[in-house]
Structure 1
Amino acid sequence: MTIRVTLLGTGDTTGTPTVGCDCDTCRAATERGIERSRFSVHVENERTGESLLIDLSPDFRHQFLREDVDLPDVAIITHIHFDHIDGLGNAYRVFDSLPVYAANETDPATGESVADTVRDKYDYLDAVTVEDVTPFESVEVCGLDLTLVPVDHPPLVCYGLVIEDPETDAKLSLSGDTSYDIPERSRDRLRNPDLFLADGIVPASLCEHHPLGGKDHDDDGVPRTFGTKHMTREGALSLAAELDAETTRLVHTAHYYPVDEAFEEPLAVDGEQYRLDGTGVTRLDADTTGSQ
């Protein structure tokens, strides 16, 4: 037994279905009983029984009532956008103790690090303690090796994440919220994952509707970045191929995907669960997308 990964939240800042929206994609999600709530990932070290939570979704309560996973022993914050951090308020009266790991680099846009922002914003939560992490330096968390790597999500600093089992060499990589323009050093650290969770907010065809269009075009002129902050589906898949990921799931996806594309592989939905044992990836949940 090694790493069990549960996708608690696979949607973007509004989720799918989006409140107040009656688009074809939101209606289809409701009809199929499919949800993409705000982003969060639960990672359990089955060997020790400990678990960590990547990002604290505003949908924290709903996610943990819905999924059969334990409350985490520790949490990790990748950046300070509300859909990744505001669920930390759920620590009130729920946790006796919750160490929160976050990067210690100062963000020029805010004048403080992600770790400092967590300290300042949630200083009223006695259960929460903040552990500073230096990017590219691995720390042991729940018996697993954790590394934060800088990615590109202007104007704020944001981090991708690598989690490895030192006993089996199982590896989970997350792109974090990012454009395709990830620094080479970070790409090297993310490389060769068993499971890769990649930000693929919309298909490249929708870049024409963004005020800034798209960028990071491939050799065929397909934009791999939507605007400046997120990868397109095509960009995420291109990155996955470059990193030689064994299994890739696209997360942080928006309800703007056309309905005939919104539930196709490899777009993830909430509740997907995977086991990484160092020899491969096994999907543990039943496929609920209706795409196969």
Structure 2
Amino acid sequence: MRVTLLGTGDTTGTPTVGCDCDTCREARERDVERSRFSVHVENERTGESLLVDASPDFRHQFLTQDVPLPTEVVITHIHFDHIDGLGNAYRVFDDLPVHAADAVDPNTEESVADTVRRKYDYLDRVTVHDVTPFEPVRICGFDVTLVPVDHPPLDCYGLAVEDPETGAKLSLSGDTSFAIPEDSRAVLADPDLLLADGIVPASLCEYHPAGGDHHDAEGVPRTFGTKHMTREGAIALGEELGADETRVVHTAHFYPVEEAFEEPLAVDGEEYVL
């Protein structure tokens, strides 16, 4: 499988519109971008492509990255920076199968699949398919398994994408705190590549109203507030899952400029062949 990171930023991306902070200025000078989150997974054996999350930057991403349009899509949760790119299906696709979890979220009283179905009912190009968490489904020739993670107050899912022919495995943490359930971790374990949400470094937890959480043995917070992992949490997750390589994604422009472009923080356009 060929994995291309189309969007590696958080909800505002980097550079952030209207921002002149040191990190945004440096990103412009380096001509580096972290647009809203999206991952392209190409099955070069079948010629199909899976898109994980439909970024609002869909058009820009597919104009600037050398990847084919997706054959099918998986949506991890209903926040706008992961779903609103589906509007690009209009006049671009004849049919776009979209897969999402069928578990009912008590906060919204509907599943992720139902929310996508309702929100895009005007687009006859979008066909929504319900997926039961922990039950692998064959999508684009890959075995894809959605697993619940921890992103309060809404349900959110990570996923494992495995090639049944080669054994290659990609795991995505989804938007999550470090408190990913053990049964979900078991599905995500031992990937060739882990894409892990790490919105800011742990040092910034002191500025969050909720502080940090899920501290390690040295007292370093692995969760920023309640919804996202810190950089340190993302790296620790990779170590605990036994990932061959971990890239930190869904990062914010709040990273200090001297840390914002250091390993293992990802930027748009990175490509991995697994």
Question: How much does 1:186 deviate?
Answer: 0.2
- TM-score, reference length from structure 2: 1.00
Distance (Å, rounded) in 2 between the aligned partners of 1:68 and 1:16? 21
Partner-residue secondary structure (3-state), 1:102: strand
Which of 164, 178, 181 lines up with 2:179 in the alignment? 181
Question: How much does 1:236 deviate?
Answer: 0.6
Q: Deviations over 1:195-218 (max 9, x none)?
A: 000000000000000010000011
Check if 1:115 corresponds to 2:113.
yes
Letter in 2 for 1:273: E
Question: How much does 1:67 deviate?
Answer: 0.5
Which residues in structure 2 correspond to 1:1-292 (within 5 Å)? Answer: 3-276=1-274
Partner-residue secondary structure (3-state), 2:26: helix
Letter in 2 for 1:268: A
Question: How much does 1:5 deviate?
Answer: 0.3
Distance (Å, rounded) in 2 between the aligned partners of 1:201 and 1:220? 20
Letter in 1 for 2:261: F
- TM-score, reference length from structure 1: 0.94
Question: How much does 1:44 deviate?
Answer: 0.3
Partner-residue secondary structure (3-state), 1:25: helix
Letter in 2 for 1:31: E
Question: How much does 1:45 deviate?
Answer: 0.4
Distance (Å, rounded) in 1 between the aligned partners of 2:81 and 2:92? 20
Question: How much does 1:93 deviate?
Answer: 0.5
Distance (Å, rounded) in 1 between the aligned partners of 2:15 and 2:133? 35
Partner-residue secondary structure (3-state), 2:146: strand
Letter in 2 for 1:153: H
Distance (Å, rounded) in 1 between the aligned partners of 2:30 and 2:56? 23
Q: Where in structure 1 are there 5+ consecutive unaligned residues?
A: 277-292
Q: Deviations over 1:226-270 (max 9, x none)?
A: 000000000111110000000110000000000000000000000
Distance (Å, rounded) in 2 between the aligned partners of 1:124 and 1:95? 14
Q: Where in structure 2 are there 5+ consecutive unaligned residues?
A: none
Distance (Å, rounded) in 1 between the aligned partners of 2:117 and 2:261? 38
Two-structure CA RMSD over aligned residues (Å): 0.4
Distance (Å, rounded) in 1 between the aligned partners of 2:123 and 2:263? 40
Question: How much does 1:142 deviate?
Answer: 0.8
Partner-residue secondary structure (3-state), 1:257: coil
Partner-residue secondary structure (3-state), 2:105: coil
